[in-house]
Amino acid sequence: MKPGNELKTAHSPSHIPDDWFNWKEKDKDEAETVARPSLSYWQDAWRRLAKNKLAMLGLVFLVLLAIMAIFGPILSPYQVNTQNLPNQYQPPSAEHWFGTDSAGRDVFTRTWYGARISLFVGVMAALIDVTIGIIWGGISGYKGGRTDNIMMRIIEILYGLPYLLVVILLLVVLGPSLSTIIIALTVTGWVGMARIVRGQVLQIKNYEFVLASKSFGTKSARIIRKNLLPNSMGPIIVQMTLTVPSAIFAEAFLSFIGLGIQAPYASWGVMANDSLGAILSGNWWTLFFPAFFISFTMFAFNVLGDGLQDALDPKLRK
């Protein structure tokens, strides 16, 4: 049929100039332009994280805390364990910014030493968890089959063990010290990380690009290193960020039940535990500073972890 023969309304609006009826020059680029600038995964994640005010607050706090943990004790004229009994329970002043405790020790100095211990315990525990978790979960998820089955059974059983009870038991036997606390925290702590890594690996393993490199005969170790790990970094980073505060909490908790880090170290948990009696007598600052820093550090890690989770999970992108 010939179009136009049956036109009911003459479709030739006169206000449209005739010379517009010419074939358009084909502009290849026009069809191909992408409206939004493309950002790499990490740039995009960072942009989203930067938009999250709470997460940025946490990040800034943690950076400042790390700086103070390194330089704070140097700034202070006092030693961490120098007792000065006549000087006990001084309220915060120009000399002692955070006051002094029951033994006349400077709370400001002790707080930054405590930050060293707490951050060290938290970060070390997280790093060890990640290392074991990646190896265990990576192998389990990648190998699959029988290996996976056995490795997962072990995880399942370890997962059922009550975490803090095992930690307590180990510390009773090993005796509390900086290294034993970290060991005790990681003995069963890595299980959660291993589960996450395994889940990620299982998911990514079947993506086409992994199958492709497999079909080229790439070695397993290389596939794990080059393909699987970079693509599962997001959840691993988030899990790490959330491991740190729970380790800090566990250390403080252990101090409270008498299994904390022993002198000459002073962790926030030990400081808080030492000053329990002091709150009844109104010397609030001895408890306030360690309590504030434990809580705010955990808060900072938690909000940063939440922020990272949102930023690294493109599924949530709106």
Binding footprint of another protein on the chain (CB under 8 A): 1, 3-4, 6-13, 16, 18-24, 26, 30-32, 35-36, 54, 156-157, 160-166, 168-170, 172-173, 245, 249, 252-253, 256-259, 272, 276, 279-280, 282, 284, 287, 291, 294-296, 298-299, 302-303, 306, 317-318
Shortest distance, position 11 Cβ to another protein, whole Å:
4
CA 305, CA 239: separation in Å to the nearest integer?
A: 8
Question: Which of residues 94 and 173 has its CB atom nearest to another protein in the complex?
Answer: 173
Shortest distance, position 242 Cβ to another protein, whole Å:
10
Question: Which of residues 175 and 230 has its CB atom nearest to another protein in the complex?
Answer: 175
Shortest distance, position 214 Cβ to another protein, whole Å:
28
Radius of gyration of the chain (CA): 29
**For residue 234, what are its two tokens?**
């997001």
Helices 53-75 & 41-51, crossing angle to 10 degrees? 80
Phi, psi of 240 (to 5 degrees): -60, -45
Shortest distance, position 109 Cβ to another protein, whole Å:
21
CA 302, CA 243: separation in Å to the nearest integer?
A: 9
Question: Which of residues 19 and 217 has its CB atom nearest to another protein in the complex?
Answer: 19
Question: Which of residues 39 and 221 has its CB atom nearest to another protein in the complex?
Answer: 39
Question: Which of residues 230 and 314 has its CB atom nearest to another protein in the complex?
Answer: 314
Residue 239: burial class (beta carbons within 10 Å; 0-12, 13-18, 19+): buried
**For residue 242, what are its two tokens?**
């959330």
Question: Which of residues 46 and 256 has its CB atom nearest to another protein in the complex?
Answer: 256
Note whether 167 and 250 are within 8 A (CB).
Answer: yes
Shortest distance, position 249 Cβ to another protein, whole Å:
5
Q: What DSSP element (H or E) covers 186?
A: helix 178-187
Single out the residue of 123, 119, 110 nearest to residue 289, CA to CA: 110
Note whether 105 and 219 are within 8 A (CB).
Answer: no
Note whether 247 and 189 are within 8 A (CB).
Answer: yes
Shortest distance, position 216 Cβ to another protein, whole Å:
30
Task: Mark out the alpha helices in 35-105 (DSSP H runs).
Answer: 41-51, 53-75
Shortest distance, position 157 Cβ to another protein, whole Å:
5
Question: Which of residues 31 and 74 has its CB atom nearest to another protein in the complex?
Answer: 31
Single out the residue of 112, 120, 118 nearest to residue 69, CA to CA: 112
Shortest distance, position 48 Cβ to another protein, whole Å:
9
Question: Which of residues 76 and 275 has its CB atom nearest to another protein in the complex?
Answer: 275
Question: Which of residues 138 and 234 has its CB atom nearest to another protein in the complex?
Answer: 234
Query: Residues 6 or more apart from 173 whose CB is under 8 A from it?
Result: none
Residue 106, beta-bridge partner list:
100
Shortest distance, position 131 Cβ to another protein, whole Å:
23
Query: Residues 6 or more apart from 314 whose CB is under 8 A from it?
Result: 41, 44
